[in-house]
């Protein structure tokens, strides 16, 4: 009877039940093995688990968080010793084990999980398992009941450490019983074109009972017996089989084989993969274990899903050979079959000894730049910092970004880099850590409000990327290095250090407060302008203090408000020119506007601290009494709503361009949710707030209603309902509970707009609200009913259907069932890939 390849009882999993096999190999070297009995008290010595000959140790020293537990007594009789203990993680979102490895080596990594009702709640947990920054698998122990489950991959180490992380996804606590790491003896065996290999099944064909693993398998692979008694018969040998072909299979595995009961029948082995697009690698192990007579021949073809790997194969006598494909395979409709078929030359039926199947698991996110990681850990050790979030990769994924860090990852083919370090109010003592200078990409450093002593180190002047250093509120002394004072483009904040000697006049009287000014605030905002021909231009614009009124400056730059770009809830938006040539958009607060100084201040504060290529950049602002103005980078092509309605000259955006625009908009929104600390919710996502530059690059705008989550771990904030009718999340409207999924709902409406080119609310439709109307049209099953007729069918239908399905998932009435913006970005890129692969015919947009 077939069983799920992961659903194995732990007794069968971890024990070798053939006692007669134990004497075969007792002295294999396991010095590079890591075998952790997770939750074993640190004061208990390593122990030898006799049934395997493996030495298990406590996980103390591999993980810094979590609490220990033990399965309940009724499990003790059937549970091997290494699984009796467990470590669970009630605190923090992500908790990680760190394992030292050899870079470039292939490792077998195995994690075992058994709930065992350790907490007496009889509630099976569910959580995510990560390898470094990438999702490995979702572990749902309710699916396995009292049996538990294990997961195993073969992975090539790309750095000198591996991090296995457990991530809380609901209310239950992640847990782990055993973690095992095994280096493979040969790096040239389980090769892949991409990704790592997740064990799907590993079988040897025998009627015997019991799994085979270490010490019989020197790499501690677990071999599970499998035999189709209805269609197969067994062949065995007592002779020694040469297994030195690189895969180094156990003798006992290769000493048995299966052949068809009928000499003329095919040998078949079938399995199923879900989803059907899953890619896999298969390794088939053969050895002729019968002594053939002179008139006997064993020859057969070997195929997988009808694709021949060898048309006339004869196994070697008492010597192991392995057949495999160099490229990943797929199965039509998810049904896979291996077939061995004897040739006309053969007198004996086909034979197979063992088989391995691995599915491809992609780990697309690159780990943070290793030099930056080492530098951060050095700083952490210097100051003895203990933060629950400082586990796993510092920068990725974004939702687990370490507190106090910001990172950049503009090129997905390059590792993320650390650009911002905030250790303000962290009770730091001692001198400024020298490890800081190794953060070579750092742009902003905040060490304010600590108890740092000693001098200001000169190495700070040598950090080429630094733009802002905040050393205020410490006990630093001595002279500030001249090289630091004279460094161009650097803002050094040092007030609140009474013993710091000032070598220039700008240092004088820094401890006092500054007077309130009603002039234009000196906003030095680096606005990252769109990438043009591969070059990135940083625009710095400063409103300098002048004796003349700054509102007069606004009048001048807008040529007396001569050209209107648009109108919003804040007020009119005018075209302007600064520095003689730089175009800007100037948004003036209308005295009759429902939005006022609170929204003005909120937008300024947000744009001063967030910078992303898909968020409109702030150039400056004017705060002079009743005269409030925001000065933005100029977006030449206006907003998306104008283009969809035809108000921009009648140009029709083709489907590819629409997808690119919403992908970029989603990226900006995803940055607000995951890249900002604390996270931000836009609260007014709509097509009118998606602006386009001259290259049709999309940027999200209008942040006056944005709201942050001030407290770590909050799932929502309770706030008054604001937003635009039609785009408003109904759950937020009914409960006043705001979370990032409220933005996801609004974005779903935007998706429906670009798909249908219909008004959000139209009383002339059968269903006035666009969500209800699309739902009605979908029941008829015709995509043409909802697609914008102006596209004239010029689109990939798979791309459109995926976009529609994504939009409807964003519009789920329950926020918990909506995707995250990270998932939305991924799905939209898939839609775009489908459309790009089609090579559409429309030429109206390039």
Q: Which helix (H) or strand (E) holds 561?
A: none
Q: What angle do CA 793, 795, 800 make, to 5 degrees?
A: 105
Please name the residue ranges forming H helices in 105-197: none
Distances in Å between the Cα of 87 and the Cα atoms of 65, 67, 368, 625 are: 9, 6, 27, 59
Residues making up the annotated binding site for ATP are 587
Cβ atoms < 10 Å from Cβ of 155: 23
Please name the residue ranges forming H helices in 592-729: 597-609, 640-645, 655-670
Q: Which of 318, 319, 324 is nearest to 302 (CA)?
A: 324
Residue 220 neighbours by CB under 8 Å, 6+ apart: 33, 54, 108, 180, 182, 213, 214
Cβ atoms < 10 Å from Cβ of 232: 22
Catalogue the long-range contacts made by 61-64 (C-beta closer than 8 Å, 24 or more residues apart). Answer: 62/34, 62/36, 62/97, 62/98, 62/99, 62/179, 63/87, 63/95, 63/96, 63/97, 63/98, 64/386, 64/391
Separation of alpha carbons 569 and 596, rounded Å: 10
Round to the nearest angstrom and report the end-to-end CA distance of the chain: 58
Active site residues: 684
What is the C-alpha R_g of the chain? 32
Distances in Å between the Cα of 301 and the Cα atoms of 331, 352, 354 are: 19, 12, 16
The two structure tokens encoding residue 789:
């007729």
Helix/strand/coil (H/E/C) assignment for every residue in 328-340: CECCHHHEEEEEE
The two structure tokens encoding residue 738:
């705001």
* 3-class DSSP assignment, residue 623: strand
* 3-class DSSP assignment, residue 599: helix
CB-based contact 178:39 (threshold 8 Å): no
Q: Which of 383, 247, 272 is nearest to 324 (CA)?
A: 247
Whose tokens are 């457990």? That residue is 166
Residue 116 neighbours by CB under 8 Å, 6+ apart: 70, 71, 72, 75, 79, 86, 146, 148
Residues making up the annotated binding site are 587
* 3-class DSSP assignment, residue 37: strand
Separation of alpha carbons 564 and 580, rounded Å: 19
CB-based contact 663:671 (threshold 8 Å): no
Torsion of CA 756, 761, 763, 768, to 10 degrees: 70
Separation of alpha carbons 495 and 510, rounded Å: 5
Separation of alpha carbons 571 and 600, rounded Å: 11
Q: Which of 662, 598, 593 is nearest to 806 (CA)?
A: 662
Whose tokens are 């918990």? That residue is 816
């Amino acid at each position: 009877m077939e069983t799920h390849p992961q659903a194995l009882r732990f007794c069968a999993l971890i024990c070798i039940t053939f006692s007669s096999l134990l004497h075969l190999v007792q002295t294999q070297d396991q010095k590079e093995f890591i075998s952790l009995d997770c939750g074993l008290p640190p004061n208990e010595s390593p122990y030898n688990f006799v049934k395997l000959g493996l030495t298990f140790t406590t996980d103390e020293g591999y993980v810094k968080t979590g609490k220990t537990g033990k399965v309940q007594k009724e499990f003790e009789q059937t549970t091997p010793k290494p699984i009796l203990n467990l470590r669970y993680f009630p605190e923090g979102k992500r908790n990680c084990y760190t394992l030292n490895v050899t870079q470039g080596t292939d490792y077998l990594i195995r994690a075992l999980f058994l709930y065992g009702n350790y907490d007496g709640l009889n509630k099976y947990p569910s959580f995510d398992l990560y390898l470094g920054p990438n999702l490995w698998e979702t572990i749902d122990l309710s699916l396995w009941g009292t049996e538990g489950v294990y997961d195993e991959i073969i992975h090539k180490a790309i750095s000198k450490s591996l991090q296995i992380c457990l991530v809380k996804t609901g209310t239950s606590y992640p847990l782990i019983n055993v973690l095992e790491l095994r280096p493979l003896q040969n790096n040239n065996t389980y090769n892949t074109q991409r990704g790592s290999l997740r064990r799907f099944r590993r079988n040897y064909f025998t009627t015997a009972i019991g799994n085979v693993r270490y010490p019989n398998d020197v790499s501690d692979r677990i071999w599970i017996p499998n035999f189709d008694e209805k269609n197969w018969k067994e062949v065995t040998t007592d002779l020694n089989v040469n297994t030195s072909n690189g895969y180094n299979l156990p003798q006992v595995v290769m000493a048995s084989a299966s052949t068809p009961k009928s000499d003329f029948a095919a040998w078949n082995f079938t399995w199923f993969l879900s989803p059907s697009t899953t890619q896999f690698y298969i390794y088939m192990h053969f050895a002729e274990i019968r002594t053939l007579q002179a008139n006997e021949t064993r020859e057969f073809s070997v195929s997988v899903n009808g694709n021949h790997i060898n048309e006339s194969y004869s196994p070697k006598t008492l010597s192991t050979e392995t057949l495999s494909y160099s490229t990943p395979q797929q199965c039509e409709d998810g049904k896979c079959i291996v077939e061995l078929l004897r040739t006309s030359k053969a007198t004996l039926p086909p034979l197979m000894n063992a088989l391995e199947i691995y599915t491809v698991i992609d780990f697309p996110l690159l780990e943070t730049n290793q030099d930056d990681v080492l530098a951060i850990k050095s700083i952490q050790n210097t100051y003895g910092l203990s933060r629950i979030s400082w586990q796993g990769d510092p920068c990725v994924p974004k939702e687990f970004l370490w507190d106090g860090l910001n990172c950049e990852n503009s090129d997905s083919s390059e590792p993320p880099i650390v650009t911002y370090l905030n250790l303000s109010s962290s009770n730091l003592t001692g001198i400024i850590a020298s490890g800081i200078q190794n953060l070579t990409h750092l742009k902003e450093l905040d060490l304010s409000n600590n108890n740092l002593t000693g001098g200001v180190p000169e190495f700070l002047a040598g950090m080429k990327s630094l733009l802002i250093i905040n050393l205020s509120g410490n006990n630093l002394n001595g002279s500030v290095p001249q090289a630091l004072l004279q460094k161009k483009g650097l803002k050094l904040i040092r007030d609140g250090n009474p013993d710091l000697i000032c070598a220039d006049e700008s240092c004088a009287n820094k401890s006092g407060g500054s007077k309130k000014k009603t002039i234009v605030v000196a906003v030095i905002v680096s606005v990252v302008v769109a990438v043009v021909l591969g070059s990135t231009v940083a625009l710095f614009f400063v409103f300098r203090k002048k004796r003349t009124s700054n509102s007069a400056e606004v009048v001048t730059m807008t040529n007396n408000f001569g050209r209107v770009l648009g109108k919003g809830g804040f007020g009119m938006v005018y075209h302007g020119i600064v520095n003689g040539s730089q175009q800007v958009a100037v948004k003036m607060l209308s005295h009759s506007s429902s939005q006022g100084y609170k929204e003005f201040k909120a937008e300024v504060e947000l744009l001063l601290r967030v910078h992303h290529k898909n968020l409109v950049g702030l150039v400056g602002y004017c705060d002079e009494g009743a005269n409030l103005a925001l000065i933005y980078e100029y977006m030449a092509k206006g907003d998306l709503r104008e283009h969809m309605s035809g108000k921009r000259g009648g140009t029709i955006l083709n489907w590819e361009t629409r997808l690119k625009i919403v992908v970029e908009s989603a990226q900006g929104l995803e940055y607000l949710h995951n890249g900002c600390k604390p996270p931000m919710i836009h609260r007014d996502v709509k097509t009118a707030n998606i602006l386009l530059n001259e290259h049709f690059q999309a940027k999200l705008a209008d942040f006056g209603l944005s709201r942050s989550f001030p407290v770590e771990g909050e799932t929502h904030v309770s706030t008054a309902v604001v937003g635009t009718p039609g785009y408003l999340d109904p759950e937020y409207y009914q409960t006043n509970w705001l979370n990032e999924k409220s933005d996801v709902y609004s974005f779903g409406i935007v998706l429906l707009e670009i798909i249908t080119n219909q008004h959000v609310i139209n009383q002339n439709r059968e269903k006035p609200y666009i969500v209800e109307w699309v739902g009605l049209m979908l029941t008829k099953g015709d995509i043409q009913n909802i697609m914008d007729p102006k596209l004239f069918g010029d689109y990939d239908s798979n791309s459109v259907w995926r976009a529609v399905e994504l939009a409807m998932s964003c519009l789920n009435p329950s926020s918990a069932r909506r995707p995250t913006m990270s998932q939305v970005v991924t799905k939209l890129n898939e839609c775009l890939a489908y459309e790009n692969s089609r090579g559409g015919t429309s030429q109206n947009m390039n």
